Amino acid sequence: MRALIVSSLVIGSYLCPVLTARAAENEERTYQSAEEALSVGGALLRSGNHAAARKPLEAALALSESTDAKIRIYQALKAPYRLLEDPEPMFTASDYILRNSQRAAERSLTRTDVLGFAFQRGKLDALAARYEEALKENPDDVTALFVLSELYGRLKRDPKRSAQLTERLIAAQKASGQLDVGTQAQLAQQLVAGKKFAEGAAMYEQIAPQDEKLAAWHWKEAATAWLSAGKKEDALRAARESEKGSPEARSEQLTHFWHKGLADVFLQTGDAKAAIPHYEQAIAHTNIDGYLKTCREQLAIAKQKAGQ
């Protein structure tokens, strides 16, 4: 065993200078093409040497002319950029992807990623300032509105400002023909958070038919908002529309919340019998003690009111 340890130390002492020299060589290396630089940078990323991957990836970026290629390279660069003290390279990479990607899912994931990065680094104000400045130059900057509406709504907890920005985002997307369900749902959520329950409910109803996969969830959100607005008939109607769609199935937690939301609406609007199976399903789709306790208590109330 001692011989093996000694041997490992000897090999390690030999390899460390070799690997260090190779990393230094890659930093100084001149590449003939974007593909060559990207190949080297990608290999370094896969080996876990993110810091050394930065230079060849940046070289690949400089040599690339295709927007799609640059998006791909900026995605790769986010790993080494996370290691830097300066957040600007990460902000720049994310901004390029947000402004140039044609895929809504990629833009959404990139926004979540850069907001999480800024929050962890304590740089939310810096990110906000970057996009507030962009709005001064162009009040209809879709990317700035897209980032800031979520930043103020989810992280700065300013639903009023977020709703204002989201309304502007919707108008800008309409003008450019890029309006999507997610943005409208975000506005509905911010309206509800700002206690504009009827307006939020109406917007959820408006977007529910636009996406079959999300219809049941949006009708449930509408029902809950109508209930908060004191409009029980509208709440009951929306809840029954939600039941017509496919049950929420994006995750176990969302399935729980969908059933629990509908159960609460039915119970509070006088249809205790309809609430029972939803409370039972809400219980079946969670293992969180607090959620189970609440649902079991509400289920008992529903059964008592339904005469069961």
pLDDT tens digits, residue range 33-66?
999 999 999 999 999 999 999 999 999 999 999 9
Name the one residue in this structure whose structure tokens are 């400045």.
Answer: 133
Mean per-residue pLDDT, 140-164: 90
Percent of the chain with pLDDT over 90: 68
Sequence-distant (6+) residues with CB within 8 A of 116 are: none
Mean per-residue pLDDT, 143-154: 92
Mean per-residue pLDDT, 133-161: 92
Mean per-residue pLDDT, 162-186: 82
Please compute Rg for the chain using Cα positions.
26
Percent of the chain with pLDDT over 70: 91
**85 secondary structure, DSSP code:** S
- What is the predicted pLDDT for the residue at 225? 96
- What is the predicted pLDDT for the residue at 15? 40
Residue/partner pairs of 81-88 with CB below 8 Å, 24 or more apart: 81/54, 82/50, 82/117, 83/50, 83/51, 87/117, 87/118, 87/121, 87/123, 87/126, 87/127
At 20, the amino acid letter reads: T
Q: What are the domain boundaries of the chain?
A: 34-83, 85-179, 182-231, 247-308
**248 secondary structure, DSSP code:** P
* In the predicted structure, residue 10 carries a pLDDT above the cut 50: no
Tell me the per-residue pLDDT of 230-243, one tens digit each, with 9 for 90 and over.
999 999 999 999 99
* Gap between the Cα atoms of 284 and 307, Å rounded: 22
User: Residue 305, by phi and psi: left (phi above 0), alpha (psi -120 to 50) or beta?
Assistant: alpha
**Structure tokens of 283?**
């219980």
Tell me the per-residue pLDDT of 84-99, one tens digit each, with 9 for 90 and over.
999 999 999 999 999 9
Mean per-residue pLDDT, 81-86: 95
* Gap between the Cα atoms of 5 and 11, Å rounded: 10
* Gap between the Cα atoms of 89 and 103, Å rounded: 22
- Which segment of 28-42, 119-133, 211-225 scores lowest on mean pLDDT? 28-42
- What is the predicted pLDDT for the residue at 28? 64
Q: Please report the sign of the dihedral spanned by the C-alpha atoms of residue 177, residue 180, residue 184, residue 189.
A: negative
Sequence-distant (6+) residues with CB within 8 A of 260 are: 278, 279, 282, 291, 295
* In the predicted structure, residue 229 carries a pLDDT above the cut 50: yes
Count of CB atoms situated within 10 Å of the CB of 248 = 23
The phi, psi pair for 48, rounded to 5°, reads 90, 0
Sequence-distant (6+) residues with CB within 8 A of 35 are: 60
* In the predicted structure, residue 72 carries a pLDDT above the cut 90: yes
Count of CB atoms situated within 10 Å of the CB of 92 = 14
CATH 3.30.1360 fits 85-179, yes or no: no
What is the three-state SS of 34-48?
Answer: HHHHHHHHHHHHHCC
Label residue 187 by pLDDT band (50, 70, 90). Answer: confident
Longest Cα pair distance anywhere in the chain, in angstroms?
81
- What is the predicted pLDDT for the residue at 145? 94
Could you tell me the end-to-end alpha-carbon distance of the chain, in angstroms, rounded to an integer? 71
* Gap between the Cα atoms of 23 and 30, Å rounded: 13
Of 223, 308, 211, the residue nearest 264 (C-alpha): 223
pTM: 0.68
CA 18 → CA 22, 23, 24, 172, distances in Å? Answer: 6, 9, 10, 54
Inter-residue contact 185 to 169 (CB < 8 Å):
no
- What is the predicted pLDDT for the residue at 220? 96
